[in-house]
Every structure is written in C-alpha cells, then in structure tokens.
Structure 1
Amino acid sequence: MFGTSGIRGRIGDEVTAELALAVGRAVGSEGHDRVVVGRDVRESGSMLVDALAAGLCECGTDVLTVGIEATPTVARAIARLEADAGIVVTASHNPATDNGMKLWNPSGKAFGPAQREAIERRVRRDEYDLAAWDGVGGRHRRDGVRDDHAKTLRKAVALERSPDVIVDLGNGAGGVTASVLDDVGCRVRTLNGQEDGSFPGRPSEPTAETLDTLSTLVERTNAELGIAHDGDADRMLAVDETGTFVPKDALLALFAREAAGDGDRVAAPVDTSLAVDDALADVGASVTRTQVGDVYVAERTTEADVVFGGEPSGAWIWPEETLCPDGPLAACKLVELVASRGPLSDLVAEIDGYPIRRTSVEVEDKAAVMAEVDDRVTERYDEIDTLDGVRVETAAGWFLLRASGTQPLIRVTAEARSESDADALFEDARSLITESIEASD
C-alpha cells in the first residue's frame, strides 16, 4: 500500500474514498487523538479529505483541517497545533490522474516503516477501534498555518542583497515561496502561479525537460535564478541565470557543502553521485548513505553529527528546521546562497560532474532476481553494500542494482570518474542482471 513516500495511485483505481476512510480509521485506531489534515490542489483531494476526516472522527480523533497547503506547511503545523500526526492528501509530483496520502509525525518526519506497517495491517484486516456515540471526534478548521510557515522561513535566511527570482509553482500549492521571497526584498515573478490540479502549465514533476519555459524566461530576463516546485512543494529544483537546469546531484552537493563542516556528515541515498562525496571532502565532511526515500534520509539526520540530508529528486532536509523536505525553505536557502556567493552557474561549475549511466530492466520476479544478484556479487566483489539493493564500490567508481518499490523493474545505475570506466561498470552491472534473470527462470 505504501511506496517510498506515502500512498499514491490513480484515482478511482488504487486510490478511492473507501481507502481514505480506511486510512483515517487506521490512524485514529493507532491512538492519534488529534490529526492535522491538508491537501494539494487536485480536485479529487476534497472528497479524500472528507473520507479521511470521517474515518478519523469515527475512531475518536479530532481533525484539524487546514485546506490547500504545501506539504511542508502542513507537516510544520502539526507541532504548532499540538497535534499527534498529520496527513496530506497529495500525489506530490505524480500526474493529475493520481492522488494519495502522506502521513507525518510532529517532528516533520514521515511515518516510518513500523508506523506504516501498523496502518497497512489494520486496513488489510479491517481492524479498527470505532468510538462509541459519545466518543467520536470533531472536525475543526484551522487558519493561519501558511502565515506561520512564512514567518519561520523569513527567520531562516538573511540576504546580503535581493536577487531577482522567477518562481515556477507548476500550478501547485507552493505559493508561500513567492510570498516569502517578496517579503525579504527580492523581485519575484511567478510562472504557473494559478492553483489548478489538472496542471495545465507543465507536468507536476519539475525536470530539465518540463522546465523549458522557466529556463527560457530566466535566460531572456535579468533574473539571477529560477526556482521550481512540484505539486505539493516538498521538492525544489532550479535553473541558473543562463537558463541552464542545475543538475540534481550538483544542487545536493551545493546545499551539503554549505551546511557541513569538518567532521560533519550529510545523509543521502545509495544512488547519490560521487560529486557529493568529493564536494564534502573539500570541507572535511562525508556522506552517510541511506535507503532511497526521504523518510530514510530524515531518520539519519536525527543522528548528532548529521547536519543535512538530501535526495537528488529535489527533497532537501535541514534537521534543525524540520525533518520534512521543505521546498520553500530550500528555495530561500538557494537564493541566500546566490546573494552571498555570486552567480549560480559559477557555484555549479565548482562541483565536479562525473559520467553516470542508468537504465531499468523489466523482470517477472524482483525478489528472485535480486537474490541471484546478491549471490553473484558476493562471489566477485569485496566492497558491497546491501542497504538498499546491491551497491558495489570499485577503485574506478560504483554501480547499484535495486528493485523498484512500485514496478516490476530492476534499476541499474553506474558512475565513475571517466567515461570508459562508467561504461565498463555499467556493462558489468547489466551482465549481472542478465545472468540473474536466466538463473531465476
């Protein structure tokens, strides 16, 4: 039921009001007495919120609804409203046909594996603690959570000057970014600023391909950078002053290097580029690798010497602020960096880029294939990490074989410091998959 970041799927198929009702009942039955509920801009979110609230109230939970807000706005509101948990109805960067639910703790960290398993078990078994007639919860509206988030963001940055910025909201719920940057003195222009769950301006997921209009506008104006969010604004990606898309690993390296110092660690998933390791080595810091998924990155940032966490997908976590990926905070941090350090293109040029190869191989039985992969890798290599899939370190670089969490695919990634080494590692990894598929048939 849960993927790496909540529940997602096509409305009317995987995600229904019936499922939302069940999730609400399950969360209420797990002892959460007071839950904040918000949603992104998708029209289907309204019915899902109603169903969630009904399930929560039915199990004695008081529901605090906050309306359409960015995921980090809702996640931050949980502690402020003295709630036990939060649920955001969103499919994040998925297409308009989809919706889903993300579950959050008061710390801003997404529900962890044990919490998700407890919810899923109750839904699967249809086991709920329904309240008596005089014990049902109430539903209450709470306003002002966006203002609270904005106030926190303004305090989190100090600009030496005020760059011109274009913010592409992707028709999503991240409007707090534009308002805060305007408040701190930036000249802000917005793109796709009208909230619309059909995402008419561009697909919800910000990528080099979907941000072509933002890139063109930045290139043809005096803007110093462009910021882009996905539908619920937990992600933030960027283009530099020339209109060039900033590589995701480079953005991770920039944030990591700025946050870390000698002896510090930065949490990042197993598929993170060597560029991040090298950037951190320059300041005496290091990478600690996690499973793929912002919940695993967030969990690692709770360790004392981990000062930042990030995923190349565009999820950035400053643990002193919140354990939720906060796209608006990342936008403010990036503007602050440009204001103090100069052009974004120059900053990106300081980060080494290495050749990386990626593909996906369709398989019938992911578990069987990965078991064969593990056996073969153990026989042939010494430096092996099985935290999430199988990651092999060599003197030249690394490769990763990892089963998709939602599709019948094995993801193959290889990176090295030279094109030839990257090609060789990539072919080794693909050969392992081919052998393992044949052996598992």
Structure 2
Amino acid sequence: MSAATSPSERRVSARIGAISESATLAVDAKAKALKAAGRPVIGFGAGEPDFPTPGYIVDAAVEACRNPKYHRYTPAGGLPELKAAIAEKTLRDSGYQVDASQILVTNGGKQAIYEAFAAILDPGDEVIVPAPYWTTYPESIRLAGGVPVDVVADETTGYRVSVEQLEAARTERTKVVLFVSPSNPTGAVYSEAEAEAIGKWAVEHGLWVLTDEIYEHLVYGDAKFTSLPAIVPELRDKCIVVNGVAKTYAMTGWRVGWIVGPKDVVKAATNLQSHATSNVSNVAQIAALAAVSGNLDAVAEMRTAFDRRRQTIVRMLNEIDGVLCPEPEGAFYAYPSVKELLGKEIRGKRPATSVELAALILDEAEVAVVPGEAFGTPGYLRLSYALGDDDLVEGVSRLQKLLGEAKA
C-alpha cells in the first residue's frame, strides 16, 4: 500500500497492517500441514512441551466444568483465589513478596506482554530489546506505540548483553529495558551478578524493566534462575514481571499468564483487559490454580528429559561442519550459528540467508526450523528440543546428512 493511499481507501489499518505474522507459529503450521499431507516432517519450530498436562491439573479443570459458579463472568483481573495463589507461588519460587492486588491474570503470556507495554508506553517511548529476541516482543512494543531498540549479543558472549551495550543504546527517549532469562530463542541464562548489574543500571537511570520469567523452572547444570525484583528491591516500583503456566506445566493451549507489578500499572492493564477480553476462561484459571498450588514433581521430570535432549542436540549440531552451537543453559531451545554455511552449495542451491537455508532444509530434509531473521539476528537457526527423543535424533541426523553435503 503506497504512502499516498488515503485513509478511506485503506482496507486494513496501517497500525495492524504493519504487524508481522508470528514466524514460529507459521513454521509450526506449515510443518503440521505437510505432515497432514503425508510427508514425514519433523518440526523443531514451536516452543511447546511434548508432554501432556499433568493429570491433577486436568482433573481440576474437569471438576470446574461441572461447577455452575464457573459458568458465569468473573472479575476481569482474575479469580481472587488464583491471584492469591500466584502471589504465594511468586514468593516460593522467586523470593519476591507481592500482594494479590499487584497481579493481573491474562490470556497467556502474549497478552500479558502487550498489556504491560500498553500500560506504560506513550508514543515514541523507546524500549531496549536484547537480541536475539522472541518474535512477539517488538511487535507488542510497536502496537503499544513504542519503539524497539535492538541490542545484539552473539554466540561469543553466550547471547548475553552487557551493561555497557545497554548504556550505549540508552537515549533520552528510553523508558523500558526488556530482560529475559532464561531466554527464548537462545536458552541464555544470566548469572545473579549479571542480572543485578542490569537491574541497578536501570534503577540508576530511572528506567522501567519488563522481565519475562516464563522459563524460570527450566534451567540446567550450574545455571540458576534469578528474579530481578527479588535481588534488586529498589527496582520494584518500576518493574513488571510476566509469567504463566504454559512452559512449566505443559499448558500452552490453556492460555493462562499473568502480570506482577506496581498496583497502578496493574490496575491500568486490568482496565484495558476489561474491554479487550474480560476474564480469562474460568476453567483454565482453575487448572492454573491447581498448577501453581501444587508441587513441582512433574516439572522436575520434564526438566530431566529436556536436559537429556539439550545435551544430545548440542552435541549433534556441533558435529556438523559450519555449525556452531553454544550450550543453552535454560528454556528448551538451541540457537546455532550457520553463518559459515551461507553461500555454500547444497544440492544445487546456494542459500544466501538463514531464511533460504531453512526453506532448503524443509524441502530437502523435511525438517522444520525457524530462521534467525525472525529473532532479529540473521545467520542463525532456532531449534526447539521440546519433542520426543527419537524424533530429535532423527531430525538432527537428517540435518547432518544434508548440511554435510555443503561445498564451496
């Protein structure tokens, strides 16, 4: 659509028309469509645990379905009993004491992220976004009227940005810094000292911090999860925590997330949600209540499986000439550099970008991966290892065979 198009001629608003499709969901949809058509595609695209939701959580939802109390509207900000349980869970897991009035229950983590940015950003406000980043962050910022400012880290630093990089990106328009640890798409985990330095830098400059803690329980080896508002208490009045049940409890389809933050910001985001979607499904909220109130035994079992797969995928990827894959310390993603493969001949083609390489891999090896362009860093691929062990080995074996054919 040309810039000269008049408002009356636009069929889709400029604001919505500028939104990109979720690359990860698009890759997953294409992989599933090809499988439905009979092709043996193995998908590394979606960040979705392959485990079923634990039975006790499902049982709680079934019981809720039978209770007429949950057949009606409930408070837009969330069931009081769930908000209270989230507050208790936050203290248990993060060491961060909050009140239920500081919590808003949302339709998944994506709604939490958008509503948090919408509540604090004015047009033109800048948000520092460490890259590689999850695809939804910059789009949510733009929808809220903000301007994402990328700060890029690569494999040489374990995909972690430094305070010096953040400071170099700060301007008089900077209002928020995004902090994500463990990270999607890289699996990077910041040490407590690194996290504390970033939190204190934000306090020094009066910046807001939005921290996404959705992968808090998925850390491996010696890595430890650190909650910024817990270790930098002076940050709390300008810190918003986003979290949810999707990754920890294998509940991606249940769509329950939440915001923890200052009361005035949470109230503003709740007002927005009251007009946008009203309350989250009551049945899903009761399932989430069972999840956050229960023990973490099922989570520990899933984490053990993810750790095993993590080690396998990193080892196998690093056996491919031209591929360099740092060991992720958290989440369930590997983020290898494939820059050395770009421009090389593979089965008669010379992919010049990671987008082209990902397309070639899907066509020739029937393996779905997400190109780094989706995460703000061309020259990389993201592979989720939240899939069965056999499929993981088969999929990476296909990559080894195909990419092993690369020649100058």
Identify whether the pair has TM-score above 0.5, normalized to the shorter chain: no
Give the strand-richer structure, 1 or 2: 1
Higher relative contact order (CA 8 A, sep 6+): 2
